[in-house]
């Protein structure tokens, strides 16, 4: 932005663009204003011409083959940020799956740590090949695990009489694939 200062019956015009200061003295204030506007406009357009985009920098640094691969898989900053997952351990219900069949339903206050422990347990004889999970509040974990266990009847969940946590048998009958918790939770994974 230009500044015009009267000094000794003349006018000093000063502008600063990209941390460089330009100054010139004029007899009339109007001349100083015109010079400052023209100089600032010219300097800014030169700076814009010199400015390079990220893709121009990448194209100079990378081979055409690698650049083509990046263009197909590169995410924008906003896509990366919008897909971010909070760093706190996610609590919820997890489903261990083998050959397309849910074989175990569990709950955890840290889903990924618990699945990791299952993976360590089954190194010798794998009993699941994939997993899915549903985020849920800690206060609902017992009920949700009970509901999904009753609905899916996975072969590696152990049922001894009434369900183990609350000592009650679910009163609702479920069919496979039925949404048993309502619309406030989603299965992820």
Q: Tell whether 76 and 158 lie within a shared domain.
A: no
Please tell me the distance from the alpha carbon of residue 117 to that of residue 121, in angstroms, as a whole number. 6
pLDDT in tens, 18-70: 778 888 899 999 998 898 888 887 777 765 665 556 666 666 666 777 767 66
Q: Tell whether 29 and 64 lie within a shared domain.
A: no
CB 10 within 8 A of CB 27: yes
Q: Tell whether 66 and 120 lie within a shared domain.
A: no
Q: Tell whether 46 and 74 lie within a shared domain.
A: no
Share of the chain above pLDDT 70, in %: 69
Please tell me the distance from the alpha carbon of residue 97 to that of residue 6, in angstroms, as a whole number. 80
User: What range defines the domain where residue 16 resides?
Assistant: 1-51
Q: Tell whether 66 and 150 lie within a shared domain.
A: no
What average pLDDT does this structure show over 84-89?
78
The DSSP secondary-structure symbol of 129 reads: S
Q: Tell whether 113 and 180 lie within a shared domain.
A: yes
Q: Tell whether 182 and 129 lie within a shared domain.
A: yes
- What pLDDT was estimated at residue 181? 46
For the chain, the domain total comes to: 3
Q: Tell whether 76 and 5 lie within a shared domain.
A: no
Q: Tell whether 69 and 118 lie within a shared domain.
A: no
């Amino acid at each position: 932005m230009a500044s015009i200062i009267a000094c000794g019956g003349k006018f000093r015009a000063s502008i600063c663009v990209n941390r460089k200061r330009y100054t010139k003295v004029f007899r009339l204030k109007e001349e100083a204003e015109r010079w400052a506007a023209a100089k600032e406009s010219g300097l800014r357009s030169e700076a814009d011409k010199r400015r390079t985009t990220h893709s121009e920098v990448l194209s100079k640094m990378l081979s055409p083959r690698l650049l083509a691969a990046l263009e197909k898989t590169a995410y924008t900053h906003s896509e990366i940020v919008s897909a971010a997952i909070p760093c706190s351990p996610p609590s919820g219900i997890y489903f261990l799956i083998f050959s397309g069949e849910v074989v175990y339903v569990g709950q955890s206050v840290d889903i990924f740590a618990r699945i990791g422990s299952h993976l360590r347990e089954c190194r010798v004889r794998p009993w699941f090949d994939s997993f899915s999970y549903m985020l849920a509040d800690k206060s609902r974990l017992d009920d949700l695990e009970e509901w999904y266990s009753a609905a899916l009847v996975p072969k590696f969940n152990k049922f001894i009489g009434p369900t183990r946590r609350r000592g009650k048998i679910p009163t609702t009958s479920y069919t496979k694939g039925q949404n048993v918790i309502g619309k406030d939770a989603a299965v992820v994974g």
